[in-house]
Amino acid sequence: MTIAHQALLFPTDGLQPLPQPDDVDQDLLLLGSVRAVSLVHVDEPDYDKASEEWSARNDHSASSVLGHFGGRPAWIQGDETPSCLSCATPMSLVVQLEEGPDHSTAMNFGGCGGAYAFACELCGRAKFLWQC
């Protein structure tokens, strides 16, 4: 039994930000470069095709698309859809994330990689993995 790629799901009720520590250089706590994003609904179910079409319509590079919610993952390598450790049911894709177009704001998934978060709707378990 493998326990790799485990992720924890937490309810959002009652979450509160932690106070900033007093004895730390404030510059270390500040967020540097950031990237604004917007949620765009696209009817095309094929992620790669939807990304290319959106990019062409909006005069942006395909790397401007940062991922998608639900549906089918667009695997970079081979299909690694995980099964739940509790019930052995294949997990559903929650989100697929891309690194992004700018190295200063990019998420690092191995260099030109992508990340995939899955959840078991029956058991409430989750897994997170990446490919590059």
| Cα–Cα distance, 25 to 116 (Å, whole number) | 34
pTM across the whole model: 0.79
| Cα–Cα distance, 86 to 30 (Å, whole number) | 40
CB-based contacts of 42, cutoff 8 Å, min separation 6: 50, 53, 54
pLDDT band at residue 11 using 50, 70 and 90 as cut-offs: confident
* Runs of H (alpha helix) within the chain: 26-29, 47-58
Provide the pLDDT for residue 35. 74
| Cα–Cα distance, 100 to 64 (Å, whole number) | 6
Quote the strand ranges of 1-132, DSSP E.
Answer: 6-7, 67-69, 92-98, 114-119, 126-131
More confident call, 62 vs 29: 62
Asked if 96 and 75 count as a contact pair (C-beta separation under 8 A), the reply is no
Provide the pLDDT for residue 27. 78
Residue 70 has pLDDT above 90, yes or no: yes
Residue 119 has pLDDT above 90, yes or no: yes
Q: What number of CA atoms fall less than 13 Å from residue 94's CA on the CB side?
A: 16
Over residues 81-86, the mean pLDDT reads 95
